[in-house]
Chains A and B, each alone.
Chain A
């Protein structure tokens, strides 16, 4: 009996397996999609598939973007029903994106950081994955077209080297929106020791020395860590190093690409860091401290200054320490310069276009209507919708200015602001629209946080490389050179600063980097910069 039943089971399983295999063999033929636009496409767009990574502030309370008030409103305004496809969050969604790109059946709209497409966005167009939008925008996207005409600098950022526009981009419309990271210092310590805010490297030295020796945390022990500055901090913000007029990577001076870490001035910076490290001004464990330990050191009242974010630094620690140490006050410090009154050149400032945008794929049957649908986000009303939600529900107009309702800013059920806002708008994360400063003014409220954006927006960033894209052929070579160089330079940075390698070895270090193919990497960057200039 039992055996018989088993036999039947196996026959069924066998049959199933065979049919699966058959499907596997038959289905692998590749069909080229028709990339041409159908002139007689149906005029009405009613459905749209839209692939986009769901962000955490949304997924905390909702299952899809459809539940966001702004999209509900958009649907009733346009009649377009959007089927949002959300891959899992996190770094590895890249994997799903790349794999999806190997197939030909794509969602209608893909919102993604398209620079991540292997070979860049221009390649994605040439590969027949997404469509070039220039003409469509010209004819069917009056709002977005106007924006680009008024802001040629944004247009340059969102174009490829060949002049193609490939997405409806996320744009930060104000400089203050591009700044959120920089040096911070314990203002209460400065006050206690009667010091003023340091601006030059020498002033910083004196302040740090005082932090070290005069026991500003008042526990009788010299356990203060005057400065916490990691290699990563120097790489991203160029704090302190920037005083020498260079950065820790590629930069440009009058159209010439240069490399900071091999510059003689970099040696001077390393010498200073080495000195600070020896004198105990720099955290002795800066190379191995993780986020949690940093948190413990800050909340434990040990750290005098560090590179931190507006939100997760100044904001977070302000809140955390409110009860524990009422004097605690962490504020933004200006990027140090060499001589008093020098202009700040280096800091951290993001681009207006952060790379994320909504592209229309070649699988889309109705690109014209999709363009019109996306264009709404760049209109006056669309900006309000995406930044503030639906009028009357999440905000009201007061004196011509949108004002969030108190229940959004202060959710009665106790949701954090970011989550309660995300039920209504998209302004807490990137998307195809323009981020409005009026939103940020209500979102960032602590005075020290607001102040930080003004202080950190100071640097001119005149030597920063624009967002260039290497060609596909270049990029593989570039990756192979830079992996070696980065490994070596990161290792040597720590050795120089911590004194494991004497600084008179700097020339040898430069030679080694050069032998790894620096000249070629510079040339690739130079070409990319020149292509960017020609856009």
Chain B
């Protein structure tokens, strides 16, 4: 048992003795946390039988237990869809791009903000940068359509430089760039908040010591600030790995058109369009379960890799 190995005061007796000892020693911790444990038991594990719907021909009247078993029918339906591969590819690619571009953006912003000495300027930038988080996606996409239209602002500027106008919103090739780019635009400030908090907990004496050693700002950033943020960065990275198969449908639905399906149609929008025809809880659950299983495997992988290369891990 790896858990037993990690146990610092363990003298290799039986498992049960260890557990009994642990319960005795950490009695108050467990009692304190009981409501939390109960919460997870009741509100998360309690309803989990709903996953059975993925294997059933769910009908409202019969309920989850009473509905008829149909095995992997919903999964077959999904995997055999003419578009399955395209959906999977689009979903994963958007996530990969987000991981490459959108994930580091708030970290870089936090580092840059940290280098600002003027407190007023720093606070102003912070406050302003997080504002777009509060603008609804409908409005953001509305502004995008307006600015990126064939005769919109961006093309007017391009035209000024003699570049032929580009129909951004109707070209499949542009979709991912626009999706990820607008996501960064809207979320970078808000995303940086957690990293700023991580920086704020770094012991200031470390910087003083570094200065004594003659370290410049670049070195300080590299050797003190970044390592101080690292636990947070790694944990968020691992958790992000677990969402590789999910792209929220709301924004894609607002942005795409059949013209850009080629790159824009993702699993969630496909399920949504199917849902327009029929409320099919069974099918939706099956697709969700498929997502969950893949995501969870990715998360476990990311966690074990991280465990090897750094000491930061989820478990």
Q: Do A and B bind each other?
A: yes
Binding site for B on A (CB under 8 A): 10, 13-14, 17-18, 20-21, 24, 30, 94, 98, 101-102, 116-119, 123, 126-129, 231, 284-285, 287-288, 290, 292-293, 472, 475-476, 478-480, 482-484, 486-488, 490-491, 493-495, 498, 516
Quick one: which of B254-293 are within 8 Å of A by CB?
A: 257-259, 261-262, 265, 270, 273-274, 277-281, 283
Chain B residues with CB under 8 Å of A128's CB are 61
Chain A residues with CB under 8 Å of B265's CB are 487
Q: Given A102-B63, A285-B150, A487-B261, A118–B278 Cβ distance below 8 Å?
A: yes
Closest to B278 in A: A479
* CB pair A486 B257 closer than 8 Å: no
User: With A487-B261, A490-B261, A494-B258 given, can you name 10 additional A-B contacts, CB distance below 8 Å?
Assistant: A21-B41, A102-B60, A102-B63, A288-B149, A292-B142, A293-B149, A475-B278, A480-B274, A480-B283, A487-B265
Chain A residues with CB under 8 Å of B59's CB are 118-119, 123, 127, 472
5 CB < 8 A contacts A-B: A118-B59, A479-B278, A483-B277, A498-B259, A516-B82
Identify which of B42, B169, B277 contacts A21 (C-beta below 8 A): B42
Instruction: Give CA–CA (A292, B138) in the complex, Å.
Output: 12
Quick one: which of B196-219 are within 8 Å of A by CB?
A: none
Provide the main secondary structure of the chain B interface: helix
Quick one: which of B147-173 are within 8 Å of A by CB?
A: 149-150, 167, 169-170
Most buried by A among B32, B169, B257: B257
* CB pair A476 B149 closer than 8 Å: no
* CB pair B150 A292 closer than 8 Å: no
Q: Given A476-B280, A484-B81, A484-B82, A490–B60 Cβ distance below 8 Å?
A: no
Identify which of B145, B277, B281 contacts A479 (C-beta below 8 A): B277
Closest to B279 in A: A118
Asked if B4 is at the interface (CB within 8 A of a chain A CB), the reply is no
Produce 1/0 per residue, B239-259, CB < 8 A to A.
Answer: 000000000000000000111
Chain A residues with CB under 8 Å of B279's CB are 94, 98, 116, 118
Closest to B60 in A: A101
Instruction: Give CA–CA (A351, B43) in the complex, Å.
Output: 45
Closest chain B CB from A233 CB (angstroms): 14
Instruction: Give CA–CA (A495, B280) in the complex, Å.
Output: 31
Closest chain B CB from A11 CB (angstroms): 10
Identify which of B42, B83, B170 contacts A487 (C-beta below 8 A): B83
Most buried by A among B170, B280, B281: B170
Instruction: Give CA–CA (A101, B61) in the complex, Å.
Output: 8
Closest to A231 in B: B258
Q: Given A24-B46, A292-B142, A488–B82 Cβ distance below 8 Å?
A: yes
Q: Given A13-B35, A20-B42, A287-B259, A483–B81 Cβ distance below 8 Å?
A: yes
Question: Number of contacts between A and B (CB, 8 Å)?
Answer: 116
Instruction: Give CA–CA (A472, B62) in the complex, Å.
Output: 14
Chain A residues with CB under 8 Å of B280's CB are 118, 476, 479
Closest chain A CB from B274 CB (angstroms): 4
Closest chain B CB from A510 CB (angstroms): 15
Asked if B177 is at the interface (CB within 8 A of a chain A CB), the reply is no
Chain A residues with CB under 8 Å of B60's CB are 98, 101-102, 117-119, 127, 129
Chain A residues with CB under 8 Å of B38's CB are 17-18, 21
Chain B residues with CB under 8 Å of A129's CB are 60-61
Closest to B35 in A: A17
Interface size on B, residues (CB 8 A): 41
Instruction: Give CA–CA (A287, B172) in the complex, Å.
Output: 13
Identify which of B35, B149, B270 contacts A14 (C-beta below 8 A): B35
Identify which of B35, B169, B273 contacts A288 (C-beta below 8 A): B169
Closest to A102 in B: B60
Chain A residues with CB under 8 Å of B34's CB are 14, 17
Chain A residues with CB under 8 Å of B42's CB are 20-21, 24
Asked if B77 is at the interface (CB within 8 A of a chain A CB), the reply is yes
* CB pair A284 B277 closer than 8 Å: no
Quick one: which of B2-45 are within 8 Å of A by CB?
A: 31-32, 34-35, 38-39, 41-42
Identify which of A118, A290, A483 contacts B145 (C-beta below 8 A): A290
Closest to A128 in B: B61
Instruction: Give CA–CA (A475, B34) in the complex, Å.
Output: 46
Chain B residues with CB under 8 Å of A102's CB are 60, 63
Chain B residues with CB under 8 Å of A13's CB are 35
Instruction: Give CA–CA (A292, B254) in the complex, Å.
Output: 13
* CB pair A288 B61 closer than 8 Å: no
Instruction: Give CA–CA (A144, B4) in the complex, Å.
Output: 76
Identify which of A20, A126, A484 contacts B83 (C-beta below 8 A): A484
Asked if B57 is at the interface (CB within 8 A of a chain A CB), the reply is yes
Most buried by B among A127, A231, A293, A483: A483
Closest chain A CB from B252 CB (angstroms): 14
Closest chain A CB from B210 CB (angstroms): 39
Chain B residues with CB under 8 Å of A479's CB are 274, 277-278, 280, 283
Asked if B85 is at the interface (CB within 8 A of a chain A CB), the reply is no
Identify which of A20, A284, A516 contacts B150 (C-beta below 8 A): A284
* CB pair A17 B39 closer than 8 Å: yes
Q: Given A285-B167, A483-B273, A494-B259, A293–B145 Cβ distance below 8 Å?
A: yes
Closest chain B CB from A517 CB (angstroms): 9
Asked if B115 is at the interface (CB within 8 A of a chain A CB), the reply is no
Closest chain A CB from B28 CB (angstroms): 10
Instruction: Give CA–CA (A241, B25) in the complex, Å.
Output: 79
Chain B residues with CB under 8 Å of A478's CB are 277-278
Closest to B41 in A: A21
Closest to A488 in B: B82
* CB pair A494 B270 closer than 8 Å: no
Chain B residues with CB under 8 Å of A516's CB are 82
Closest chain A CB from B273 CB (angstroms): 6
Instruction: Give CA–CA (A126, B61) in the complex, Å.
Output: 9
Instruction: Give CA–CA (A116, B278) in the complex, Å.
Output: 8
* CB pair B258 A10 closer than 8 Å: no
* CB pair B63 A30 closer than 8 Å: yes
Chain A residues with CB under 8 Å of B81's CB are 480, 483-484
